[in-house]
Amino acid sequence: MACDPAEFEGFVRRYQDMVYTTAARLLGRGPDAEDVSQETFLKAFERFESLQGSLGAGAWLRTVAANLSLNHLNRHRSRWKLFSQLSEEDSAGIEERLAEPDSAVMEIPSGAEAGDLQEALLKLPDHQRAPLVLFHFEDMSYEDIAAKLDISLGKVKTDIFRGRGALKALLGEKA
């Protein structure tokens, strides 16, 4: 059965913002997010018969976009600073700070809007943005993030902690 181009175009229009936003949050760069979005919809085209009219199409697209974004980040991991490479000064006291409850750490200054948050997220380095987005926007556990990114649990916690601090500072500048 052939795919009706008009139906697929409507499908793309319905989900394009969600797919792009998922990729952009993880990648932080528009051109990379566009590439991932296109690749996501190419995969959707191959499965359009089963996705068309499916209640799970949006979730499937979001998962594919996230996985393709993470694959892209993993290909460019050489830019990431590994947890084991932190200096003594960098890692001093991290364990105590990581023990803080998650809910208390992600406080966004009053007056910060969703657009400000998105803009601040895009300013974070890949190694902080990816785990932070996976934790707060994709509801993944630390353990799942470590497995998905193929990094240590300590690195996940450190990057999320530092990412939250950087976000708070970036959002505080706008307030």
Task: Write out the DSSP string of 43-76.
Answer: HHHHTHHHHTT-TTHHHHHHHHHHHHHHHHHHHT
Percent of the chain with pLDDT over 90: 30
Per-residue pLDDT tens digits for 5-31: 889 999 999 999 999 999 988 888 788
Residue 48 φ then ψ, to 5°: -60, -35
**How far apart are the C-alpha atoms of 86 and 52, rounded to whole Å?**
48
pLDDT number for residue 1: 53
Q: State the CATH class of domain 93-174.
A: mainly alpha
The more confident residue out of 122 and 17 is 17
Per-residue pLDDT tens digits for 31-49: 889 999 999 999 999 999 8
The more confident residue out of 122 and 87 is 122
Q: Is 81 helix (H, G, I), strand (E, B) or coil?
A: coil
**How far apart are the C-alpha atoms of 61 and 72, rounded to whole Å?**
16
Distances (CA, A) of 128 to 83, 110, 158: 12, 23, 9
- From the list 134, 124, 132, the residue with the least C-alpha distance to 161 is 132
**How far apart are the C-alpha atoms of 159 and 153, rounded to whole Å?**
10
Given a cut of 50, is residue 90 above it in pLDDT? no
Per-residue pLDDT tens digits for 141-162: 999 898 888 889 999 999 999 9
pLDDT number for residue 160: 92
Confidence of residue 3 (pLDDT cuts 50, 70, 90): confident
pLDDT number for residue 92: 42
Report CA 151 to chain centroid distance, whole Å. Answer: 15
Cα 28–33–17 angle (5° rounding)? Answer: 105
pTM over 0.85: no
**How far apart are the C-alpha atoms of 43 and 37, rounded to whole Å?**
10
Same fold, 5-75 and 93-174: no
Per-residue pLDDT tens digits for 46-85: 999 888 888 899 999 999 999 999 888 877 654 444 444 4
User: For the packed helices 30-46 and 57-75, what is the interaxial angle rounded to 10 degrees?
Assistant: 130
pLDDT number for residue 88: 43
**How far apart are the C-alpha atoms of 21 and 37, rounded to whole Å?**
9
Q: Is 107 left (phi over 0), alpha (psi -120 to 50) or beta?
A: beta
- Best CATH choice for the domain 5-75 from the list 1.20.1250.20, 1.10.1740.10, 3.80.10.10, 3.40.50.620: 1.10.1740.10
Per-residue pLDDT tens digits for 48-57: 988 888 889 9
Domain boundaries, the chain: 5-75, 93-174
